[in-house]
Structure 1
């Protein structure tokens, strides 16, 4: 097929896929969902933690930290064996039964924001407990807020804030994640075309030597215990790097467990069935084959059709990279308590992210020795693509080992209630 015909096919499919607008009606309907917590019925690729999927997850994030990938090593740490870092709970879920959304609200919010381009621009994680092999993970979630603001890229944007509470089979809260979901009109984003002029990255041998040196010098601290008393405000973390981004990185992240729900990447008969279920999610490619709109993360021609110069990562990928950067700095005896990040720029295929961290504060609260850290990811164009603030707990020569933080009492109570209701409904279903 000629280049001109390919362009025309993509353009035609783009027009069909972008006849969806952000309307005031949809915005007001979406506000009805704020404050409603619902049991998550999604069945992720992973529902139960195993040593194998912990290792696959860590490696999909580019981490060979022995705490997560080496059973023999992990047995000698305070944890007694390998565990899944709580941020992995974003990839893990077993369907949980719960009371449905009130019918009147369900009817009023049906197909809200249908066909609108959506992406995650960061969020806030709070981490409470490790997940061990054998643990099953459930969750409940709900909208907490909705904001409408101007967008330089797409006219205006809607930001939906959603909190997800992750818990194990004992009703213990493992983590909380409040993410920002950005919704924009694909057509307006393309018309702006602001990003199309961004040149692709290019590397010579000297560039690759610099990147390799950063990787070689950034290793997990492991059992080399870092004490609270040994760090100072203004001190720097080890410089690191992630990338250059390739399609292989995206494939590995999917293999780690991400991106399979709620829409789904499907093959063969399952592809056919999924198209019947969510037809607007499928847009024909240059060969006339219906493929997922999600492919903008690996298909540059489709990414260009919606206003970007080439395919780009999931912002979530950089969140997980940041977690491992912090965890590896803290060592086996430290604990990442929380992190808040803002995804400020796209990370396009070929882009590299240079990672820098600085200690901005330290304090003792209720016997916990906490270190506040600022982290940035800066690409080869010297643009800050991610800004992150985090809190890490470190062991102390005076105060002793790190004690794991606890979720708020109301969150813990709600988790126990939701799991109890799930079991009640399961028993009724089996009766």
Structure 2
């Protein structure tokens, strides 16, 4: 936590008098929080829908015949599924406290995985806590709140599946819109030639075939400096953004209930974070008409597929989801690690959105090997970077991966 007053006053110029009202944020630091809990267990359709949205055609997650012949004996979810089985893209404990006129984008995610796979019929249960925050000046929106929250995911048997630390970026939408940083930096939406699209398709297929059988490299075979096969996703479109959004199960009508941690007087459940005008939900009305809390029609997510709404929150045109980029990173490393490997830890910092019309490229290399680790197993450390067609950096990640000996 980086401020002790109830308002951010870290202004860089005399003319910049914009402030964030943190009076409802500060008292909640360190507190358990509530949120949404899915009613139903994970199904094979949920898994298939998720990998389809992530453009992750690993057959062990969707091909019944292939999966039955594997060591799992049937379809198993990717490690990234935890985010799809959570409420609010995993950002609920990082969006605590009302800030009037605010909006939110993702700043990053950190994941720890404990080797418990998610299978059809499993149900994930979440425990959430608001960890901390800091305020910084940004060119994007002036005074900006970086807020972190923790989520623990367990299955119906109480087994620990994963822990997540999510970072949200909360800012005043009017200020971001006035500054127009992305509008000033972005050119026209990329128009791809047939030859360019053919090359994108070639790279996609080449990556897909690089480890379709799920063969895991052995720890001793991997060398520092080894590079992973390049991956590509895109071009991103309204259709792909919509497909991604609908794979987060809490967005389907009636899929979740509100839950409250015991012993907390004000656990931040079912409360308005202060969304800027035109981006809030109608929770009471949604009890009759569920579209009134459907984020693609109302609510804070509508800017992802609506250029006009994107412009009102400083994003210039339709753009992708931070939680999606986190899923991409985990899936990419897990695909290289194969069916006998495990992503133990991955930390991803988000630098730039994936805008409509862009293509995202994945490039990674092995930067270290740890013969002994805190997990009690040898780990390979991988540096991953996601860029767009112009070289803009979207994500920087560091992952630790367990491989068979």
With the length of structure 2 as denominator, give the TM-score of the two structures. 0.79
Q: Look up the match of 2:379.
A: 370
Q: Look up the match of 1:407.
A: none
SS in 1 for 2:309: helix
Cα distance per residue 1:225-275 (max 9 Å; x no partner): 3111111101100011111111111121123225628799899x7387569
Kindly state the Cα deviation for residue 154 of structure 1 after the two structures are TM-superposed: 0.5
In structure 2, relative to structure 1, the CA distance for the partners of 1:22 and 1:395 (3 Å cut) is farther
- State the distance in 2 between where 1:205 and 1:266 align: 44
Kindly state the Cα deviation for residue 319 of structure 1 after the two structures are TM-superposed: 1.1
Structure 1, unaligned runs of 5 or more: 1-20, 95-108, 284-289, 397-431
In structure 2, relative to structure 1, the CA distance for the partners of 1:274 and 1:221 (3 Å cut) is closer
User: Which of 49, 57, 62 does residue 50 from structure 2 map onto?
Assistant: 57
Q: Look up the match of 2:73.
A: 80
Asked if 1 retains the 8 angstrom alpha-carbon contact of 2:59 and 2:212, the reply is no
User: Which of 35, 40, 53 does residue 47 from structure 1 map onto?
Assistant: 40
Bigger drift between 76-85 and 197-206 goes to 76-85
Kindly state the Cα deviation for residue 293 of structure 1 after the two structures are TM-superposed: 3.7
User: Which of 202, 205, 211 does residue 216 from structure 1 map onto?
Assistant: 205
Equivalent runs, 1:4-403 vs 2, <5 Å = 23=19, 26-38=21-33, 40-44=34-38, 47-93=40-86, 112-128=98-114, 129-197=116-184, 198-199=186-187, 200-219=189-208, 220-257=211-248, 260=251, 270=286, 291-365=298-372, 368-396=377-405
Asked if 2 retains the 8 angstrom alpha-carbon contact of 1:47 and 1:93, the reply is no
- State the distance in 2 between where 1:194 and 1:224 align: 44
- State the distance in 1 between where 2:167 and 2:295 align: 24
Kindly state the Cα deviation for residue 224 of structure 1 after the two structures are TM-superposed: 2.6
Alpha carbon RMSD of aligned pairs, Å?
Answer: 2.9
Kindly state the Cα deviation for residue 180 of structure 1 after the two structures are TM-superposed: 0.5
SS in 2 for 1:378: strand
- State the distance in 1 between where 2:291 and 2:47 align: 31
Aligned residues: 349
- State the distance in 2 between where 1:149 and 1:303 align: 23
Structure 2, unaligned runs of 5 or more: 1-16, 88-94, 257-269, 273-279
With the length of structure 1 as denominator, give the TM-score of the two structures. 0.74
Q: Look up the match of 2:9.
A: none
Asked if 2 retains the 8 angstrom alpha-carbon contact of 1:125 and 1:338, the reply is yes
Kindly state the Cα deviation for residue 71 of structure 1 after the two structures are TM-superposed: 2.6
